[in-house]
Structure 1
Amino acid sequence: MTDELDLLREANPVSADTGPWRDRPLNARAELLLRQLPSRDRGRRTVRRVVWSLEAAAAATVLALALTVSGTPSSAVAASRPLPLVAHASRADVSLAEIVRRARTAAEESPGKSERGSHFQSWAPSMKSGEDPVTLPRESLTRWNADGSGFALEVATDPRHPGRPVIEDGPPPRTVHEGKVLSEERYPPGINSANQDYFEDPPAGASALRAYLAVWSPGADRDPAELLSAVQSFLTVWTPGPRQRADIVTLLSGIEGIRPAGTVADRFGREGQGFRFTSAPASRYLIVLDPDDGRVLDIEETITKADPEYRVKAGDVMSYTAYIS
């Protein structure tokens, strides 16, 4: 409780000199400060990984162990760490500046709208001192309607068959390949979609989008690694339309130190253009973009320094998120 009280006191959404406050709503500044509280303790981490619920992590681990000891020839894959994506430079590579131009052109021709909800597959290790990580990729599909109703489906995938979605989008969604359903929730009309980060509609314009991301990920407006992390999180909540895609790739193009990596096939075999960014002290990111419209296909993080305590080597994948829609 002490930590939460310290955070609240530090934010000071209603100061002592603002007069009686019990009978009036918080002003815009106070609302902003309160929204930032959940992310105040995230900090800058050497290893950024997707945070699972305890139930989801336990279910995925049980499934991984079951596959590992099943005795099938390919069962060892269940507990293995995914290999990093490989990029190949060539004369056909498309520059980041050109991708920004194409994305802007696509947005002008058909602005479209961003949709609340996302479909993605992600992986991150369960880090325990002195133990090999055993974690399965998970796939998530979330959709929201205008009246606030919606659903969320999360499935632990079968790593013996990588490179294919296990959830088919549609009314209703369904699992189409082997996998363990971790959670399935349906929400009635209301404000349930406001119970997650980035619940407000994203603004138009790269600068406005950066400020919007910084509300939920403090530091995204000044730290490249925080900005990249914020974009990664935002894309697990929203499916951006052409305008937001152009804004996102514009923000990425402004990251100092981002470098072209070459053509790369992402986790689902989609050909994209890869760009690398190294963040102190030990993280390297590979961002895979659709060269035609700037859509983010995949964001992968690898570690640049070995950590024997957690049995990771330089070059090991620490997380990835592949965006299906």
Structure 2
Amino acid sequence: MTDELELLRGADPVSAETGPWRDRPLDARAELLLTRLPARERRRRTVRRTVLAVAGAAAATAVALALTVSGGGSTPAVAVPRPLVAHASRADVPLAEIARRARAAAEAAPGRSVRGSHVQTWSMGMETGKGARPPVTTPVESLTTWNADGSGTLLQVATDPRHPGRPVIDGGPPPRTVHDGKVLNREHYPKGTYGANQEYVEAPPAGVSELRAYLAAWLPGADKDPVSLLSAIESFQTVWTPGPRQIADIATLLSRLEGRMHPAGRVTDRLGREGQGFRMSGINGGRYLVVLDPDDGRLLDLELTATRAEPDFQLKAGSVMSYTAWRG
């Protein structure tokens, strides 16, 4: 019973803000939350096992890569990367204009979101205590694909940090490594799986308010808190490659974060693409750099840097704590 109560509290289908509880029809968001309860605990266990397994493999791979691609006296290959640099100019495109362009592109070619993603990530590993090593960052490229019969594949490869923008995965079929890299995880899903035990199981809706409610159903708070919204968008795009309508809706949601998203200027990302950067303060001393394609509004990159030093973790102000680049 304890587990069921925790799930109900976590879902919070009727929040305190809706007034005293009484018999009344549930709204669409509440119904969506309740339908997910039976599968949520199973999904939580499965996702946690996967995350722990990949994290352990990534940590071991960081050491292996350091020994493999670093020579004596050279800079460690898994050193923390430098933050992206934005250059402001008169040619910068405002966020509202990017959202308008995205909506125009969606009207011209609506398209659909595709389940699956092609992502490169950089995640910092830190240690504390006597003898702790400096922070290291292991870049990982991940490709998830799904077929019409519900079967799919997942390939995760730790890449050579000396070539951060070079792809190591050929999209297939079947997906394979094409450059130096250490395979962290390779999964083959049978027919009928089609995203089982993943977040964002249902196809994303079209419409700004509908998409925000959809994101908040999986990450409570995304409909109110800008940082939670950004986190929800990031996790959503690791499951789905958004179509033009969802791209436009995401760009519009970001454009409505009044007072939080500030223009940063043009950015050349780690994959060599030109984008428009916007900064947003996070929590606990973090700051986001959001990079959008100025022509169609696609979210290209999301970088989180530390704004203050943490001596216990040998973390310096300005260090890149995480970075995500979408290839889709």
Q: Which moved more, 1:272-281 or 1:256-265?
A: 272-281
Task: Give 1:163 shift.
Answer: 1.3
Q: Hey, what's the Cα distance between the residues in 2 that align with 1:13 and 1:243? A: 29
Alignment of 1:105-120 (within 5 A): 105-120=104-119
Alignment-derived partner of residue 324 in structure 1: 327
Q: C-alpha distance in 2, partners of 1:304/1:38? A: 37
Alpha carbons of 1:138 and 1:74: their partners in 2 closer, same or farther (altered >3 Å)? farther
Whether the aligned pair in 1 keeps the contact of 2:116 and 2:240 (CA below 8 Å) is yes
Find the residue that maps to 2:245 and give its secondary structure: helix
The alpha-carbon deviation at position 36 of structure 1 amounts to 6.6
Instruction: Provide the secondary structure at the position in 1 that maps to 2:99.
Output: helix
Q: 1:125 to 1:200 in 2, by over 3 A?
A: same
Q: Which residue of 2 aligns with 1:282?
A: 285
* Native 8 Å contact 2:43 2:197 kept in 1: no
Deviation at 1:136, TM superposition (A): 1.1
Cα distance 1:211–1:51, how it changes in 2: closer, same or farther (>3 A)? farther
Deviation at 1:53, TM superposition (A): 2.8
Shift of 1:62: 2.7
Partners of 2:251 and 2:8 lie apart in 1 by: 37
Task: Please name the residue that 2:209 is paired with.
Answer: 207
Q: Which position in structure 1 is the counterpart of 2:98?
A: 99
Partner amino acid, structure 2, of 1:162: P
- The verdict on how the C-alpha distance between 1:29 and 1:244 changes in structure 2, with shifts beyond 3 A counting, is closer
Q: Which residues in structure 2 correspond to 1:35-50 (within 5 Å)?
A: none
Q: What is the aligned partner in structure 2 of residue 303 from structure 1?
A: 306
Instruction: Decide whether the 8 Å contact of 2:146 with 2:194 is kept in 1.
Output: no
Shift of 1:160: 1.9
Match of 1:239 among 226, 238, 241: 241
Q: Which amino acid aligns with 2:35?
A: E
Q: In structure 2, how many angstroms separate the alpha carbons of the residues matched to 1:29 and 1:198?
A: 12
Aligned partners of 2:33 and 2:64: how far apart in 1? 50
| Greater mean alpha carbon deviation, residues 248-257 or residues 214-223 | 248-257
Distance 1:75 1:68 in 2: 10
1:10 offset after TM fit, Å?
Answer: 3.0
Q: Which letter does structure 2 place at the counterpart of 1:103?
A: A
Change in 2 beyond 3 A, CA 1:28/1:203: closer
**Cα separation, partners in 2 of 1:69 and 1:282, compared to 1, 3 Å:** same
Supply the distance in 2 between the matched residues of 1:52 and 1:77 (Cα, whole angstroms). Answer: 28
Matched, 1:84 2:86: no
Please tell me the root mean square deviation across aligned C-alpha atoms, in Å.
2.9
Q: Which amino acid aligns with 1:273?
A: Q
1:120, CA displacement in angstroms?
0.4
Post-superposition Cα deviations, 1:139-184, rounded to whole Å, max 9, x if no partner, equal: 1000112221111111111112221111111211111111000111
Q: Which residue of 1 aligns with 2:34?
A: 30
- State the SS of the aligned residue for 1:107: helix
Cα shift readout 1:5-64 (whole Å, capped 9, x = no counterpart) = 6513635999xx99xxxxxxxx75532455677999xxxxxxxxx997333233333332
Identify the residue that residue 26 of structure 2 maps to in structure 1.
none
Q: Which amino acid aligns with 1:310?
A: F
1:273 to 254, 272, 276: 276
The answer as to 2:120 corresponding to 1:121 is yes
User: Aligned residue pairs: how many?
Assistant: 307
Mapping 1:213-224, distance limit 5 Å: 213-224=215-226
The unaligned stretches of length 5 or more in structure 2 are 14-21, 24-30
Q: What is the one-letter code of the residue matched to 2:267?
A: V
Deviations 1:267-289 (A, max 9, x none): 10100000001124411100000
TM superposition score normalised by structure 2? 0.85
Secondary structure at 2:195 match in 1:
helix
Match for residue 21 of structure 1? none
Q: Find the aligned partners of 1:81 and 1:269 in 2 and give their Cα distance.
A: 19
Name the structure 2 match of 1:59: 57
How many Å separate the matches in 1 of 2:43 and 2:73? 40
Task: Give the direction of change, closer, same or farther, for the CA distance of 1:97–1:9 in structure 2 (3 Å limit).
Answer: closer
Pairing 1:241-256 to 2, within 5 Å after superposition? 241-256=243-258
- Aligned to 1:78, the other structure's residue is in SS state coil
Separation of aligned partners in 2, 1:161 and 1:96? 31
Q: Deviations over 1:195-218 (max 9, x none)?
A: 200010000001100000001111
Segments of 5+ residues of structure 1 without an aligned counterpart are: 19-26, 41-49
Q: How much does 1:316 deviate?
A: 1.0
